Amino acid sequence: MSHHIDPVCGKRLNTNKAHIVVSYEGENYYLCCPMCQKEFERNPQKYAKRKSR
């Protein structure tokens, strides 16, 4: 079992459950609710993981 962190609100998400998944720059991000999805899409660079190079 794995989990992801909602980058917007910081909530830990269980991937067994259906969540909103958005793809940004080849990475998948899991959001807990449409509000977080909207926020992520409004400002994805703020929430996306920084590539280390």
Report the interface residues with Zn ion, using CB under 5 A: 6, 8-9, 11, 32, 36
Q: How many CA atoms lie within 13 A of 42 on its CB side?
A: 7
By CB atoms closer than 10 A (0-12, 13-18, 19+), residue 39 is middle
Nearest distance from residue 51's CB to Zn ion, in Å? 23
Residue placing its CB nearer to Zn ion in the complex, 18 or 52: 18
Please name every residue paired with 24 in a beta bridge, in sequence order, or none if there are none.
27
Nearest distance from residue 14's CB to Zn ion, in Å? 13
Residue placing its CB nearer to Zn ion in the complex, 45 or 52: 45
